[in-house]
Amino acid sequence: GENVEQHPSTLSVQEGDSAVIKCTYSDSASNYFPWYKQELGKGPQLIIDIRSNVGEKKDQRIAVTLNKTAKHFSLHITETQPEDSAVYFCAAARTGGFKTIFGAGTRLFVKA
Amino acid sequence: EAGVAQSPRYKIIEKRQSVAFWCNPISGHATLYWYQQILGQGPKLLIQFQNNGVVDDSQLPKDRFSAERLKGVDSTLKIQPAKLEDSAVYLCASSLGGAYNEQFFGPGTRLTVL
C-alpha cells in the first residue's frame, strides 16, 4: 500500500540551531502535504502546509520544500527554541483530504 | 471558536469487551475523520465522512470496528469486541471539506485494552 517515510525518528539540537526533517511519499496522486506538531497528551496541530503547485513556502522560522519529481518534502525550522520540542509529523493527502497518510514522526529535542 | 471535542479522554477495558468513542466536530465542518494512533507511530486513518456519508473506510477493520455520523454532525466509533492490539489513542479530526483543507484534531481518547 501507499506510505510516507519520515527521517530522522529522533533529532536533538542546541537552542538556536536549525532542524531539518525529511519525508518521502509513494502515492503519485498526493497533492497536499501538511506538517503537524504534537505535544504530549494533545492532538496534532497544523504548523505549515504546501500544495503540489508550489516548491517552497515559509512562515517565520518554519519553511517547507517540495520536490514532486522525487516525491520528497522537508521541514526546516531555524533558530530553534525549547518550546519547539515536540513530535513532528509529515503527511501526504489527495484533494479533499482523501487518503491522508502520516509519517511515523520525528521527536525533536531542543536543548537550552 | 470551539475546537473538536472528544469523550471520554481515557478508557480502560478488558479484551472482548465493547467500547464507544464520541466526537463533536467544529461547527460547519463537513468532513470528519477518525484516526488510530498507536504509541510511537503516526496517526492511521480509519474512516472519513463527508457530511453523513462514508467516503473512505478502506482501513477500518469492519469485523470489529464500526462508525456512524448522524445528521452530518457528531460521530461515534465503536469497537466490539476489543483486542489487545486495539490499545491506542483514537483521534477525531474535522475540516471544512473541499480541496486542501486543514484538519483540526481533537485531544483524542486513550484506550487501554487489558
**Residue A102 pLDDT:** 97
The three-state secondary structure class of A84 is helix
Q: Could you tell me if B46 and B59 are in contact, meaning their C-beta atoms sit under 8 angstroms apart?
A: yes
d(CA A90, CA A47): 10
Q: Which pLDDT does position B100 carry in this prediction?
A: 62
Tens-place pLDDT, residues B50-96: 988 999 999 999 999 999 998 889 999 999 999 999 999 999 999 99
Please give chain A's pLDDT, 112 residues, in tens: 889 999 999 999 999 999 999 999 999 999 999 999 999 999 999 999 999 888 999 999 999 999 999 999 999 999 999 999 999 999 999 988 888 999 999 999 999 9
Q: What is the DSSP string of A18-87?
A: -EEEEEEE--TT--EEEEEEE-TTS--EEEEEEETT-SEEEETTEEEEEETTTTEEEEEE-S--GGG-EE
Give the C-alpha separation, A21 to A86, whole Å: 13
Condensed to tens digits (0 to 9), the pLDDT of residues B17-37 reads 999 999 999 999 999 999 999
Alpha carbons A32 and B64: distance in angstroms, whole number: 31
Which chain A residues contact residue B102 at CB under 8 A?
34, 46, 49
What is the rounded distance in angstroms from the CA atom of residue B10 to the CA atom of residue B35? 16
Judge whether A2 and A27 are in contact, CB under 8 Å: yes
Nearest to A43 among B48, B102, B107 (CB): B107
> Are B42 and A105 in contact (CB < 8 Å)?
yes
Q: Do B102 and A34 touch (CB under 8 A)?
A: yes
SS (H, E, C) B16-83: CCCEEEEEECCCCCCEEEEEEECCCCCCEEEEEEECCEEEECCCCCCCCEEEECHHHCCEEEEECCCC
SS3 B111: strand
Mean pLDDT of B99-114: 91
A6 touching chain B per CB within 8 A:
yes
Mean pLDDT across B92-109: 89
Confidence band for B97, pLDDT divided at 50, 70 and 90: confident
3-state secondary structure of A99: coil
Looking at residue A1, its pLDDT comes to 80
Nearest CA to A87 out of A30, A31, A43 is that of A43
Q: Are B49 and B32 in contact (CB under 8 A)?
A: yes
Please answer yes or no on whether A89 and B98 come within 8 Å at the CB atom.
no
Interface of A with B in 12-41 (CB under 8 A): 31-32, 34, 36, 41
- What is the rounded CA–CA span in Å between residue A45 and residue B111? 21
- pLDDT value of residue B1: 64
Cross-strand partners of B37: B89
